[in-house]
Structure 1
């Protein structure tokens, strides 16, 4: 099977990570993968590192008539069994560009933000894959037809850092706070990620230091908050990091205070790494944590968003060397290793693709 994955995003985020994991899984299963993305984008640079991936550089932002024409000509010339449209703009422009070619188009809903256009999800693609039941609910609320929707939880390869990488991460932590426990948060620095709540929680706690790995537009606001609260010795912004697996292995707790999530792969990575987890059970994270409302789960400590006091208390509890905490970590690792694997995700996608290849649908004529 030849699969083409289309992205219009310039930067790298959770959706792009899922795309990369799916490409890897499909290649392992013996399928051919092509990637269409804006020239110079994070996805284009990633795909360029693998010569086995067929590539199409889209002009500009990968949107508009020129990109649509180039994508349509590429698919019409080289062929594809299924085209995966990995973000909202890819669904809009890619879905319209490929209309009438007879190639199944699959859109992906990575977030739990409201759906702006039910029409394009109903008419420009054969199927919409939702990364969580929470994302599916948003689609249904907007009027996307139930028959269009299919839930496939994301999966990934477990990151196994080398002993040296782990030692380097431990040294990084110990160099600034040798006597402290270390709480790690990871993600793009955006308001929706709730890093300000974690900073406030650090201000109301003792005995641990907060490390935030990631970059984004919220950095100046976080720096100002840290200065205002006098937390320069308690909170460190690490910037973009490539050693996430090592940092998770070295951390004493992983914390996430997001207000909205599709399904956080970083949360899954933390569970796979054996880090105690404190997180908000929002969107698909509630499914990952096996909980839909604030409270304790079998795999983590869950707190409501925008509650620094509850977050501080949950982190303090997670840091305690108790049998209950050890059981949560073991349960989380077993659950993540069993359910959120790249093999399971790939099987689910390929089953969907195989079904679509064999059945003509209304959307192909849209």
Structure 2
């Protein structure tokens, strides 16, 4: 049994946070002692931490003194945890936590194996300061996990990591859990009326999700099909999106339903799932939609989009309103019917535990990075 610490900033809802919770559960089920170490444990995912995982709250709640002081407290408290608990291996995710993990290990005086998980597209880092930190700190980790082959290639091209220090591991997907959650009631009236098909999108209300393009595509689509749109998520762009909905005359056709701890009950009932992002790390929701046999239309946020959405006609250029509207119309008129059986080769247990075991190989086996590549074809 190994002692493994998973580090992230908080328990706010998001793809990276949900993946880390799945990995924590998987590591514990494989017999390891697992700590989930977070700067702030007061997020909406607090109650979803598995009972088999010890939650360590570093108590970094506020930002007196600004972002630099906040980061310093996170690094200092994480270093104290490492010195006190001495885990065998550490896995961190999201860029800020990755920076903190590298610095905390250096300060702690102990040397657990450190693996960084890059959660977002490398191109999404536009700050010169953060790019410099990434070039300085990432090579000091023992390994870096990229979520897709294109992401790995970008990191190597940017000089962030050496070729033999990066592996590709896809995110785990809990198919059984998703299907069970999807069966929960969903009271929105659009799912029970006959006024037109319902599109569903799931994600934070942020610029990267490019919901303005999706809303404009909906307005175009409604010239021929009376579709409606439900967006499940919350974020800083709510006011701007509400204003755009009003401007486009979509008040009766687009609903920002807010955060829901169970987005799968919405996803499962949609006629089409739509991803309109301009930047993604590895959008698990695309695989979740396929696990629920919901047709998908997505933007080509990077080359991995075409791996996750096999139908080439369902993948369109980012920011292209007309192409997105046309793809949605085609899906609604004749796409793979909702409720069809998912591809038989997508074994539910493999989708969850093969990534878990791949992470364990990188975390525990120091030979794994150079001797074994967990490729996109395998996961």
- Give 1:110's aligned residue: 119
Matched, 1:261 2:262: no
Kindly indicate whether the alpha-carbon contact (under 8 Å) linking 1:268 and 1:340 is maintained by their aligned counterparts in 2: no
Query: Cα distance, 1:21 vs. partner?
Result: 1.1
Alignment of 1:1-366 (within 5 A): 1-9=2-10, 11-42=12-43, 45-46=46-47, 49-60=49-60, 63-99=70-106, 100-114=109-123, 116=131, 117-123=134-140, 125-144=141-160, 145-158=162-175, 159-161=178-180, 165-166=184-185, 168-169=186-187, 172-174=189-191, 177-205=193-221, 206-283=225-302, 284-290=304-310, 296-297=311-312, 301-321=314-334, 325-326=336-337, 330=341, 333-334=343-344, 336-337=346-347, 341-356=351-366
CA contact (8 A) 1:82 1:357 kept: no
Count how many residue pairs are aligned between Structure 1 and Structure 2. 344
Q: Which runs of 5+ in 2 are unaligned?
A: 63-69, 126-130, 370-379
TM-score of the superposed pair, with normalisation by structure 2: 0.82
Distance verdict in 2 for CA 1:45–1:174, change over 3 Å:
closer
Q: Aligned equivalents of 1:43 and 1:86: distance in 2?
A: 18
What do residues 309-346 of structure 1 show as CA deviations (whole Å, max 9, x unaligned)?
A: 11111111111246xx249965x644654697121110
Q: Deviation above 6 Å: which 4+ runs of structure 1?
A: none
TM-score between the two structures when normalised by the length of structure 1: 0.85
Deviations 1:29-69 (A, max 9, x none): 1111101112344288247x544322322232595444333
1:41–1:146 distance in 2 versus 1, CA, 3 Å: farther
User: Do the aligned partners of residues 8 and 24 (structure 1) sit closer, same or farther apart at CA in structure 2, a change above 3 Å counting?
Assistant: same
Unaligned runs of 5+ in 1: 291-295, 360-366
SS in 1 for 2:365: helix
For the 8 Å contact 2:220–2:325, the answer to whether it is kept is yes
